[in-house]
Amino acid sequence: MALYVQKFGGSSVADAECMQRVAQRVYDTQQAGHRVVVVLSAMGKTTDNLINLSKQVNPQPDEREMDMLLATGEQVSVAILAMALHAMGAEAVSMTGPQAGIATDSAHTKAKIMGINPERVIENLDKGRIVIVCGFQGLAPSMDVATLGRGGSDTTAVALAAALKADRCQIFTDVDGVYTADPRTVSEARKLPVIAYDEMLELASLGAKVLQSRSVEFAKKYGVELEVLTSFDRIPGTIVKEEVDDMEQIVVRGVAADKNQAKVTIQRVPDQPGVAARLFQELAAANVNVDMIVQNVSEHGITDISFTVPRDEVNRTRSTVDKLLESLGAAGATYDVDIAKISIVGVGMRSHSGVAYRMFEALSNNKINVEMISTSEIKISVVIRSAYADQAVQVLHKAFELDQANA
């Protein structure tokens, strides 16, 4: 008898029919002899509709009241699923985040989970009940409900799985797992049976929108085994877990493209201590998320600094940079939105050499020019022209034999 935490997102619980499908799946898990805790998001467009309603009375609603409002979405979901389970003859009980013992900090609309006291959940599991918990919310120290920010239901599920020492946390979504590459770009893309936390984290930050980074970090921290799978089909998904030795046999786990980046180049900056620090300090103050940073080899004390930012932060970047140019002593700045960031990820890179070389060679053989390079222990990212993004992913997928089952 295992303990499963099963999380279903908004599209999995969009209407009454979806609820019945979810109920059947949950009930089947219990009937197979397991204990089940379910975490739900709000139904379909509920959260968006509530936000729209709030904007009609106040363009900048108070965050504490926003949480009061949005927390109702999940509360509707859990009650409806409990009713659907009852109709099947199952024993089930719904709980709000506060009732499930989820305590958060005071940062309304973007709260962090501070701790979980799962006493009431365990008590009900011990009575043979399926326990259904509102995702995305908890109780702030003020005794008000606080939400974890959008997508936070994954985090609720992982945190509950950690607190309950669950055997597995299953995240049901509208994709059926994590792939070696986006199947819309690479027809040979394969679903990965297993992936390490760190690989998933790198892929999540690269725009593979399967799991929220925060929930993967949480899972890694507490050693919760995750499974990503679809609620629309009964097939195994991808398991995200602790890195084990034989995972390193595979050099590259996946290839990802991020087409929402822009490249900024500050031209001819004096190569002096403090210049870069000043630049990136001001950008951080302006809430710009800088990703890759490359400084070219200095020539006669003058250098170029290039970095990438999310495309929708280019305007904010420009207004910050333009004000700084003179005081930095720079010649000017260029803003290039026609780029893409292509990355290969794999824990095997730690023990395999020559990976970067194989990547650059594959791209070069296909006449794809590399403009920036950035590496971490388990990831290599390059910036190229956006027009070549799909081709680059295909080329790398093939070069690292990701279409092979044992790759």
- Those residues whose C-beta lies under 8 Å from the C-beta of residue 244, and which sit 6 or more positions away, are none
Q: Which of 79, 290, 293, 325 binds a copy of itself (CB under 8 A)?
A: 79
| 274 near a copy of itself, rule: CB under 8 A | no
Cβ proximity to a copy of itself: between 101 and 237 the closer is 101
Closest CA to 260 of 76, 91, 365, 389: 389
Whether 347 contacts 198, CB under 8 Å: yes
Binding mask 335-374 for a copy of itself (x = CB under 8 A): ----------------------------------------
| Nearest to a copy of itself of 11, 391 (CB atom) | 11
Considering only 75, 155, 386, 394, the residue that binds a copy of itself (CB under 8 A) is: 75
Q: Does 87 bind a copy of itself (CB under 8 A)?
A: yes
Candidate list 29, 41, 47, 94; residue touching a copy of itself; CB under 8 A: 94
Q: Residues with Cβ < 8 Å from 28, sequence gap 6 or more?
A: none
Among 76, 107, 114, 325, binds a copy of itself (CB under 8 A): 76
Check if the beta carbon of residue 181 is closer than 8 Å to that of residue 125.
Answer: no
What minimum distance in Å lies between the beta carbon of 234 and a copy of itself? 21
Q: In what order do the strands lie in the sheet with 261-270?
A: 293-295, 302-310, 261-270, 332-336
Residues near a copy of itself (CB under 8 A), total: 36
Residue span binding a copy of itself (CB under 8 A) among the ranges 31-39, 90-98, 234-242, 247-255: 90-98
- Mark the segment that binds a copy of itself (CB under 8 A) among 2-10, 82-90, 233-241, 252-260: 82-90
Q: Which is nearer to a copy of itself, 68 or 103 (by Cβ)?
A: 68
Phi, psi of 201 (to 5 degrees): -60, -45
Q: β-pairing, 293-295 with 332-336? A: unpaired
Q: Is the CB of 98 or the CB of 254 nearer to a copy of itself?
A: 98
Give me the least distance between CB of 14 and a copy of itself, in Å please. Answer: 12
Closest approach of a copy of itself to the CB of residue 239, in Å: 31
Nearer to a copy of itself by Cβ, of 15 and 188: the residue is 15
Cβ closest to a copy of itself, residue 19 vs residue 161: 19
User: DSSP letter string over 283-328?
Assistant: HHHTT-----EEEPPPBTTEEEEEEEEEGGGHHHHHHHHHHHHHHH
**AA letter at 236:** P
- Let me know: does 149 contact 109? Beta carbons within 8 Å: yes
Range 17-56, binding a copy of itself (CB under 8 A): 19-20, 23, 50, 53-54, 56
Cβ nearer to a copy of itself, comparing 56 with 287? 56
* Residue 260 burial (10 A CB sphere; 0-12, 13-18, 19+): middle
Q: Is 126 in the site for a copy of itself (CB under 8 A)?
A: no
User: Cβ distance 23 to 132 under 8 Å?
Assistant: no
Q: At what angle do helices 46-57 and 63-87 cross, to 10 degrees?
A: 150
Looking at the Cβ atoms of 18 and 283, the one nearer to a copy of itself is 18
Measure the CA–CA gap between 397 and 404, rounded to whole angstroms: 10
Q: How far is the CB of 80 from a copy of itself (least distance, A)?
A: 6
Residue from 33, 126, 143, 234 in contact with a copy of itself (CB under 8 A): 143
Return the closest-CA partner of residue 275 out of 301, 308, 310, 299.
301
Instruction: Output the CA–CA distances (angstroms, integers) from residue 395 to 51, 220, 310, 346, in the order listed.
Output: 43, 31, 25, 17
Q: Given the rule CB under 8 A, which residues bind a copy of itself?
A: 16, 19-20, 23, 50, 53-54, 56-59, 61-62, 64-66, 68-69, 71-72, 75-76, 78-80, 82-84, 86-87, 93-94, 96, 99, 143-144
